[in-house]
A and B are shown apart, each in its own frame.
Chain A
């Protein structure tokens, strides 16, 4: 079993829909990260969380430390949101442990 599990692995939705991607982890963490990767592209850091909730534009990330669970929400989704979203956790001081990613496709 992976230390970081994401669901769903693939998600297709229509433009405007509210999107939720889930991440569960089984190890102690110092922080949780949500990352975005467009096809053939580099990785962009969206959020780094250690508690509570963060919002940036149409993106919201929440974390429940007790339940070892985080969610990434996208409101009013748009085709340009189509990408792979990766959950990763920081264990101890330095190492990022990645989930397998969720491939999101938003159709016009």
Chain B
């Protein structure tokens, strides 16, 4: 089945120790998103890729970076995790032609990040 996969499902890191979260997709979608969701809150968009074009949200801290080496994979790098970065990180994908209205987003299962 075509799907969005996130690894690991659970990640524990130490305060200030860089961490990378991974997302892959078999849907061949050209748009990939990273969201942060804290407990009992709605997901918050951090950034998205339209093909190779990176689109950062204005309020996303510099501590968060992303890489998309190819269509299938996208990584979220947290350079110096703080206690406030503990959250569920959700990857999603969608398809879009010519930058017009994007279609339905498909979400991965999420990676729950704990910062000690």
Contact = CB atoms under 8 A, between A and B. Distances in A.
B104 A33 contact: yes
A45 B42 contact: no
A69 B114 CA distance: 37
Contacts of B112: 40
Contacts of B6: 42
Interface stretch (B14-22, B72-80, B94-102): B94-102
Contacts, number: 50
Contacts of B101: 30-31, 90, 93
Contact of A45 (B55, B90, B102, B106): B106
**Interface size grouping (class) on chain A:** 20 to 34
A45 B29 CA distance: 16
A48 interface: yes
Contacts of B96: 93-94
Main secondary structure of the interface of B (DSSP, over half): loop
A78 B35 CA distance: 30
A98 B6 CA distance: 22
B42 A90 contact: no
A94 B42 contact: no
Contacts of A83: none
Nearest to B10: A40
Contacts of A45: 104-107
A48 B100 CA distance: 16
A42 B42 contact: no
Of residues A90, A94, A95, which shows the largest number of chain B Cβ atoms within 10 Å of its Cβ? A94
A22 to B, nearest CB: 16
A44 B104 CA distance: 11
Contact of B43 (A41, A48, A94, A98): A98
Interface string A71-108: 00000000000000010001001111011110000000
A86 to B, nearest CB: 7
Contacts of A96: 43, 45, 105
A43 interface: yes
7 contacts: A40-B112, A45-B105, A45-B106, A48-B103, A93-B102, A96-B45, A100-B42
